[in-house]
Amino acid sequence: MRDEDVSYEGTSLDPLNGPAVTAMPWLRSYHDVVEVFRSRAFVQGGGGRRDSAPITGYGVLALSGRDHFERRRIEATLFRKDMLRWFERDVLGPALAAKLAEIARQGRGDGRARADLLPFLRDVYCDLTCSFWGIDGVDSHEARQRFLAIVDGITPGGAVEWERGNHREIVSRCLAAQRHFGASYVRPAMLRREALIEAHAAGRVHESELPNDMLTVMLRNKQHFEKWDSEVYVRELTLFAPGDTIVRFMPHMVAEMHEWVREHPEDRALLEDVDFLRRCAVESLRLHPASPYFIRKAVEDTTLASGRVFRAGDYVVLDVTTASCDPEVFGADADRFHPHRVPRHKVKPVGLAFGEGPHTCIGAVMSVGEISAHHPDPDDPLGLVPYTLRELFRAGITPDAGQSARLNSANARNEFTEFPVRFSAIRSVRPVAGS
């Protein structure tokens, strides 16, 4: 795609945040990109995600140095293994089983229930998002649809750097949705949690009675968050929608895995094997990273090992999509899906889909589990993606050959807007799947 085919209008809502990405040098080699990710000579470029600052500003992705370290330390409690197991088995498991049962009841009588995978997964992950954020009262079909409509109204603003429309208009619309979200959902939930925290401090509420969610964690660490404006609580939640990336990129995984086992029938039996499912997930994420590129800014003169020179104040774009398909690292077929791939170097098989260095995605293990463990503990969380893939394939998911999937032309993230699927074995799905 030519640069002139893409509208980057609004790429710098604040001119102090630097030039448009089309005016910056791009790094596309895996080793160059990793070096910049890890280097202290570079910081988040203009806040990291510049146009989305009104939506996500002062969030963990935009912070650097001590503030970034402290924010990750505070939020790490939500990513402990016991929390991840609870999210999988007690929140996601029942929601997934219930949605599959609903789809089965709506079947057309030909033994193949049908659905669009995207709204299907949005419904499934709604309970998980509310549990993780700390949003109360979204407990009926109608309430879920209202909640999801508001969240969908915010989402483009959090990733506006990759949208192809007018960035100012997109951010303006998303800010209105975010204000509605804050007033209707976040503020009431904060008041309830503040009352519980005060009761706990007075000895009237036991520690075990406090919720385990993002809002509670933030409110128990007000001394950190009060460095910024009061809207930082809402903006931080916007960054942490556990199902958002999974919902958007699960269609790629299902399509690639379906094609793989069609061409390699010997691997069909592995669709019950969590390690194989995890390899499929990370291979697909390597090819389709949620963030196509990142921006960094040099804070001192530096020369990369490759010889590329940057002066203090220079901006650079890290093209993680191209870098994650670098044939020098991932082989001559690096642009193809191959779940048994062994990289040529000791690198993460997921490539740079979760970033690298101090800004490596805090939710990586939550999403795909431990991808580097040689002998994982059988009681470890599986990862939301392998867990979901296992249950979908147990239910006999296949792309619906009679319907066309559609890619989203509104942004550069290579995501689907429609992905029709069929389920041929829903009755074999366990009501609540354990590990």
Q: Tell me, what's the pLDDT at 220? A: 97
Amino acid at 157: G
pLDDT surpassing 80 at residue 24:
yes
Predicted confidence band at 45 (pLDDT cuts at 50, 70, 90)? low
pLDDT surpassing 90 at residue 57:
no
Q: Tell me, what's the pLDDT at 179? A: 95
Q: Tell me, what's the pLDDT at 44? A: 78
Q: If you search the block for the tokens 């792309």, which residue do you land on?
A: 399
Q: What is the pTM of this model?
A: 0.90
Tokens of 72: 């990750």
Neighbours of 332 (CB within 10 A): 8
- pLDDT tens digits, 143-170: 999 999 999 999 988 888 888 888 889 9
Amino acid at 330: F
pLDDT surpassing 60 at residue 433:
no
Distance between CA 325 and CA 323 in Å, rounded? 5
Distance separating the N- and C-terminal Cα atoms of the chain: 43
pLDDT surpassing 80 at residue 217:
yes
Q: If you search the block for the tokens 């790490």, which residue do you land on?
A: 76
CATH topology for 3-133+242-428 is Cytochrome p450 (1.10.630)
pLDDT surpassing 70 at residue 238:
yes
pLDDT surpassing 60 at residue 5:
no
Strand 26-27 versus strand 315-319 pairing type: parallel
Burial (CB < 10 A; 0-12, 13-18, 19+), residue 226, is exposed
Q: Tell me, what's the pLDDT at 402? A: 79
Predicted confidence band at 350 (pLDDT cuts at 50, 70, 90)? very high
The pLDDT of 100-117, averaged and rounded, is 81
Contact 289, 321 (CB under 8 A): yes
Q: If you search the block for the tokens 């001119």, which residue do you land on?
A: 15
The pLDDT of 49-55, averaged and rounded, is 78
**Percent of the chain that is helix, strand, coil (3-state, to 5):** 55, 10, 40
- Widest pairwise Cα distance in the chain: 67
Contact 159, 413 (CB under 8 A): yes
Predicted confidence band at 407 (pLDDT cuts at 50, 70, 90)? confident
Strand 315-319 versus strand 293-298 pairing type: antiparallel
Q: Which DSSP helix (H) or strand (E) runs through 318? A: strand 315-319
Q: Is 69 helix (H, G, I), strand (E, B) or coil?
A: helix
Predicted confidence band at 49 (pLDDT cuts at 50, 70, 90)? low
Closest residue by Cα to residue 185 from 222, 235, 227, 130: 130
Q: Is 416 helix (H, G, I), strand (E, B) or coil?
A: strand
**For a pLDDT cut of 90, what percent of the chain falls above it?**
65
Q: Which DSSP helix (H) or strand (E) runs through 295? A: strand 293-298
